Amino acid sequence: MVEPGEDFVEAARREFLEEVYSSEALDSARLAELKRSTIDVLGSPTDVYKGYIDDRRNTDNAWIETCAINFHINDINDAFNEVPFNAGSDATGASWNDCLPMAMYASHIDLIHSVVEHHDAAWII
């Protein structure tokens, strides 16, 4: 979720640090260091989609909207081998996974397809 005064990119970086590195538990110096290294690795994202998404929670009076962005990392092993993952407070675990047969919610599969097309990649469902 985006906090008041935060933009989507800041929110995505914050959530990444919270869920993958349990950043809420870090001291301020370590958190600042981790933020700098994450920004260096993740760089500038590409907008994938902004707006309404199909979701089972949508009604005639309320609906879900999202902003999907893609941080592209060429070599995950080089990028993140310095800091071990440590799942945050509302995550059960943190690891890199292929996004093949896994539960997809809302319009996630369409968003992933957009990223695949953006990178001129192949994807078999």
pTM over 0.85: no
Rg of the chain on CA atoms, in Å: 16
Q: Tell me whether residue 102 is in a domain.
A: no
User: Is the distance from CB of 111 to CB of 118 less than 8 angstroms?
Assistant: no
Split into its structural domains, the chain has a count of 1
Q: Across residues 9-13, what is the average pLDDT?
A: 86
Whole-number pLDDT of residue 15: 83
pLDDT in tens, 90-114: 666 666 666 655 667 667 888 888 8
Q: Given a cut of 60, is residue 81 above it in pLDDT?
A: yes
Domain limits for position 89? 8-97
Residue type, 41: V
Whole-number pLDDT of residue 13: 83
Whole-number pLDDT of residue 65: 87
Whole-number pLDDT of residue 123: 73
Q: How far apart are CA 78 and CA 37, in angstroms?
A: 12
Q: Tell me whether residue 56 is in a domain.
A: yes
Q: Tell me whether residue 72 is in a domain.
A: yes
Q: Tell me whether residue 108 is in a domain.
A: no
Q: How far apart are CA 72 and CA 69, in angstroms?
A: 10
User: Is the distance from CB of 73 to CB of 79 less than 8 angstroms?
Assistant: yes
Whole-number pLDDT of residue 8: 85
